[in-house]
Amino acid sequence: MKKLLTLIAIIAINYTFAQAPQGVNYQAVIRDASGVVISNNPVGIEIVIRQGSPTGTVVYEETFAPTTNDFGLVNLVIGQGSVVSGSFNSIAWSAGPYFAEVSADPTGGTSYALLGTQQLMSVPYALHADSTANYMETDPMFNSSVASGITATDTMNWNNDQVNDADSDPNNELQTLSISNDTLYLSNGGFAVQAMPVLENTGGRNEVCSGNTQPGTGWQIYNSQTIYLNVNTSGCNFSTVPRYFTSIGGAGSHYLLTGVSAIYNPTTTGFTIYVQRNDGTPLTPGDAATGLWFVNWMAVGQ
């Protein structure tokens, strides 16, 4: 008999519930001893499922008589051949591992020569899931727990509101929040006092307000090398002078400026910033207008 070579690939699982047979899709390329594909030729194939090891107990055996295609390929579904012994649907996949032993006869007969044995890995777990579909729990710890009383109806209701609100008004439980100084109030009664800021030298919890000036506008001459901008922060409504932090943006050349983070004359409603070129060359508001320079600012305070 000619020696056969085969390329084996477990492709997928043909898995459903009780309505359809179970099986594992299997493909093999049949070649002769010279490695030439045996195409468009009937072949005999025997599949044996062994438990525990490649030479373990035979739990299922079946045969097939497929015909190879133009490329020497045969497609089988393990579990749907001509049964020699055992029952594929009765295999206890949880008691694995299991191995598929494949033999073939290139003449289409039953003089099978062993091609190889391959372990069935993750595919049968879906079959194992099917075999446990009607499993009855026997653990005494589970049977004595609250979970044992959960029914299918209970799980269906988990996403449904089962609370009796005693009325049909969906809005009468809603309340309005308001704040006054350090106190948060509920419209139907109840309040909470917010934590007061800690001392300045150890940090504190404050409010943050931010904004930016209009690009290229508002800049004024301070001297031939310096221009300045008064920044208005009155929209923040600070009751005490906050800490200001700044950066400068624009369409170009603003990276050459110094003084962009130095704050002057800070108040609750604004501050002033002075800038000049880092090389000391003259600077005018026209330069700011051309470069569309603007100040980004952030204020932290009360």
Query: 154 in a domain, yes or no?
Result: no
Structure tokens at 263: 């704050």
Domain annotation covers residue 25: yes
CA distance 128 to 198: 63
Structure tokens at 196: 């007061």
Residues 52 and 89 in one domain: yes
Please say if the pLDDT value at position 272 is more than 80.
yes
79 φ/ψ angles, rounded to the nearest 5 degrees: 110, -10
Residues 103 and 186 in one domain: no
Count of CB atoms situated within 10 Å of the CB of 120: 19
Specify whether 191 is located in the same domain as 241: no
> How many structural domains are present in the chain?
3
- Of the pLDDT bands very low, low, confident and very high (cuts 50, 70, 90), residue 273 is very high
pLDDT digits 0-9 by tens, 13-62: 343 333 445 788 888 888 877 778 888 999 999 999 999 999 999 999 99
Are both 214 and 178 inside the same structural domain? no
Give residue 134's pLDDT.
53
- Which stretch of 77-91, 185-199, 235-249 has the lowest confidence by average pLDDT? 185-199
Q: Are residues 193 and 215 in the same domain?
A: no
Closest CA to 296 of 233, 234, 211, 214: 211
At 85, phi and psi to the nearest 5?
-160, 155
Task: Indicate the pTM of the whole model.
Answer: 0.40
* Residue 267 and residue 189 share a domain: no
Q: Which domain holds residue 239?
A: 207-301
- Chain mean position to CA 196: 40
Classify residue 148: in a domain, yes or no.
Answer: no
Q: Which residues, at least 6 apart from 68, have a Cβ–Cβ distance to it below 8 Å? A: 30, 37, 38, 39, 40, 41, 42, 43, 74
Asked if residue 156 belongs to a domain, the reply is no
Q: Determine, yes or no, domain membership for 107.
A: yes
Q: What is the mean pLDDT of residues 140-147?
A: 71
CA-CA distance, 101 to 197, in Å (whole number)? 76
182 shares its domain with 236: no
Please tell me the least confidently modeled range out of 91-100, 241-250, 270-279. Answer: 91-100
Tell me the average pLDDT across 195-220: 74
Residues linked to residue 62 through DSSP beta bridges, in sequence order: 47, 83
| 272 and 183 in a common domain | no
Last residue of a domain, one of 201, 219, 248: 201
CB burial of 224-251 (b: ≥16 within 10 Å; e: otherwise) equals eeebbbebebeebebeeebebebebebe
Q: Are residues 280 and 193 in the same domain?
A: no
DSSP letter string, 150-162: --HHHHHHTTS--
162 falls within a domain: no
132-141, long-range: CB < 8 A, 24+ apart? 132/94, 133/17
Q: Identify the bridge partners of residue 294 per DSSP, sorted by sequence position.
A: 249
Query: Is 179 found in the same domain as 232?
Result: no
Q: Is residue 141 part of a domain?
A: no
- Residue 48: CATH number of its domain: 2.60.40
Mean pLDDT of 213-240: 92
- Cβ pair 275, 258 in contact under 8 A: yes
Question: Do 184 and 229 fall into the same domain?
Answer: no
Question: What are the tokens at 117?
Answer: 């044995």
Which of 4, 45, 9 is closest to 120 using CA atoms?
9
Angstrom CA distances, 237 to 41, 225, 250, 272, stand at: 90, 34, 27, 18
In a domain, 169, yes or no: no
